[in-house]
Structure 1
């Protein structure tokens, strides 16, 4: 968009200089009329070219947004499969008519170009609210433990009451 602004400013300055040269030139009226006509046609073609560039920018932005919303993996490959983008017409909300339908058909035919899987996040490790001990409130039955098991239990739980 910055480049477009600079280009427009350059076009305006160019037109101003054209008008100044017309004001300063003295001579034949017919030659001046002819020069004015040529300048007008040049300006008209420049305006048309600029309008086409702006439309192409809008189309590219709308297509990129639609591909991103559809979770496209390779925008260049997806754009190659889209048809008639040069004849694109915009809806009131700034989207291209028929683009969603084309994308849906591409998703059906070439689903590898899109991320259609839904990933469920699984948390591993400690769970919130758990202490990590098997039964923190319950008493351990030491009568069923061997001496080695009792020694290991006491080493792990020095504050345990027997």
Structure 2
């Protein structure tokens, strides 16, 4: 995992942190990129496009939509847009993983992610994540910038 600070200095976090925060169990996680919600997609292959807008309104922080249903093995291109006035993130993982990572973010709130399952966007910026959902279950996307998740910035992905 690469962590970027506002100063532009890249710091590489220990492999054990990346494995515990994002990867599945077992030693294979140290060598293969393994994620609870599936795997990075192939941008050259067809994908269903899901537009996700991030923002703030009336004291709440939101994702629109806040729920996405997908089929197992479906590839989705999340087209992300931050319509807000603050930076926001889209981090795709399990609730437990996001809660654990949120604790790390409280200690380092300017942490930015360079992972295939996460993207941080400045106000009025766009980005995308291509993801293949290889595992059935319920996952989430949330903004882990301190206070944002608590203000309602959580979405659900249901994989059937």
TM-score, normalised to structure 1, is 0.19
Greater percentage in strand: 2
Q: Which one scores higher on RCO, CA 8 angstroms, separation ≥ 6?
A: 2
Greater percentage in helix: 1
Larger radius of gyration: 1
